[in-house]
Amino acid sequence: MLKISLAALSLSIAASAALAENPMVGGAAMFEDKNIVENAVNSADHTTLVAAVTAAGLVETLQSEGPFTVFAPTNDAFAALPAGTVDSLLLPENKDLLTTILTCHVVGAGVMSDAIAGMIADDNGTHAVETLGGCTLQATMTDGMIQLEDENGTVATVTIADVVQSNGVIHVIDAVLTPAM
């Protein structure tokens, strides 16, 4: 299970932020003093995610104090789902399923990539990550990249790590993770 003390988390995020500027995401600067939603709306690569978060009613949650770690799928990740999936998920009658899928991308702690890599190493190559949506993701390292496997065998790679937010951290991923179906 992914656990980290809030004091250690604050120090980890602050130290990482002090060492480097936030990476650009979707052609937009990411600002450490803005929350997850405020930054995500500026990313051209995350318009589908923002629409989904809005449809699921999660905007207020992801603007709250946190801390959160969000594994943020890109538009291309959503586009790779079977045809019609995103449109169907955005329908009001599918809000519960959409909420579950989205919260399977969120951890209730702010965790930088070096901490995730350390947990993977400490757990002999695979670390279980419990999400707020009740999913258990399996984190591994492949060719120096963090990968997350969902309960259905879908593997997402972290393509941009450690995007510090005022209420946590975003790690951009290249696939949509889903709960066991």
Residue 1 lies in a domain: no
- Return the pLDDT at 9: 42
Residue 113 lies in a domain: yes
More confident residue, 31 or 40: 40
Residue 133 lies in a domain: yes
Residue 80 lies in a domain: yes
Domain of 30 in residue numbering reads as: 6-173
Write the single-letter amino acid at 29. Answer: A
Number of structural domains the chain divides into = 1
Task: Judge whether 72 and 105 are in contact, CB under 8 Å.
Answer: yes
Residue 178 lies in a domain: no
Q: How many CB atoms lie within 10 A of CB 128?
A: 12
Tell me the pLDDT tens digit for each residue of 106-143. Answer: 999 999 999 999 999 999 999 999 999 999 999 999 99
The enclosing domain of 59 has a CATH number of: 2.30.180.10
DSSP string, 150-175: -TTS-EEEEEEEEEEETTEEEEEESS
Instruction: Enumerate the H helices of 5-94 as residue ranges.
Output: 6-19, 36-40, 47-56, 59-63, 75-79, 85-89
Residue 16 lies in a domain: yes
Tell me the pLDDT tens digit for each residue of 46-93. Answer: 999 999 999 999 999 999 998 999 999 999 999 999 999 999 999 999
